[in-house]
A = this chain, B = another copy of it.
Amino acid sequence: MAEAEIRISRKDAILDAAEANFAEHGYDGVTLRMIAKDAGVDVALANYHFGRKHELFEQTFQRRAEILNKWRLDALEACLKQAEEGPVSVRDIIDAYLRPLMTGPHLKEPGWRNYYGMVAYVNSSTAWGGQLMSRSFDPAIDRFIEALQDALPEASDDAIYWGYHCLSGALTLAFAQTGRLDHLSKGKVCSTDLEGGYLQMVDFITAGFERIGQR
């Protein structure tokens, strides 16, 4: 029976448990004993594999960040290659930014939903926010900013960066899945429906960027 299941290593079990707990309660709201209990291991094991709590958090955060960056950059590259010479459409850039994260089968996996919760927490935390997000995502984001600047030669730097700010804020708030939209819309809109949100956000954000290019 046991050999029929695919058993993950205890090290990965700790990462998974950490992910789920950090997503729901943030860094300080989680104790190493909560994580160890969920992972079915002793408290000391987290220390053995990952060092201090701080490092466990960062490693948990970065594990999926790289996957995510690759998805996005592949999508961006594909749309740049497809345009070949001619100007790239703003919509395609925004789509390359949002689609890989907000659609697809990985949304069914609790691991990814949990990770998204962590991203939401980190992105708007005054303490972690700037540092950790920049370290994990900025190299990839730089490419998107460049592409937007190319597609919108008339737009000022201020407009481009604050436009990206709007995009990033909207995405990470979607990641938090707080259920606020459900309450506000009296059930008409579901904030856990990322695929539905994706369709609306692409239009909305694209319009924003196109407007600032008309200066």
What residues make up the interface of A, taking CB atoms closer than 8 Å to B?
23-29, 117, 120-121, 123-127, 129-130, 133-134, 138, 141-142, 145, 157-159, 161-166, 168-185, 188-189, 191, 196-197, 199-201, 203-212
Q: Is the CB of A178 within 8 A of B126?
A: yes
Least Cβ distance of A209 to chain B in Å? Answer: 8
Cα distance A169–B212 in the bound complex, in angstroms: 19
Q: Which residues of B contact A28 (CB under 8 A)?
A: 25-29
Known: A28-B29, A176-B125. A200 touches B23 (CB 8 A): no
Q: Is the CB of B163 within 8 A of A200?
A: yes
In the bound complex, CA of A15 to CA of B145 (Å): 41
| A126 CB contact (under 8 Å) in B117, B157, B164, B207 | B117
Residues of B within 8 A of A204 (CB): 159, 162-163, 166, 208-209, 211-212
- Is there contact, CB below 8 Å, between A24 and B159? no
Name 5 A/B residue pairs within 8 A (Cβ), A-sorted. A25-B127, A124-B173, A157-B185, A162-B197, A163-B204
Nearest neighbor of A178 in chain B, beta-carbon distance: B129
Complex: chain B residue closest to A182, CB-CB: B130
Flag if B120 contacts A126 (CB, 8 Å): yes
Residue of B nearest to A134 (CB): B183
- Whether A170 pairs with B165 at a CB distance below 8 angstroms is yes
Which of the residues B142, B174, B209 comes within 8 Å of A165, measured between beta carbons?
B174
Query: Apart from A134-B180, A164-B181, what 14 extra A-B contacts exist at CB < 8 Å?
Result: A23-B126, A24-B127, A28-B29, A121-B126, A124-B124, A124-B178, A133-B178, A141-B184, A158-B188, A159-B204, A161-B189, A164-B184, A169-B170, A207-B210
Contacts of A191 in B (CB 8 A): 165
Contact A166 B205 (CB under 8 A): yes
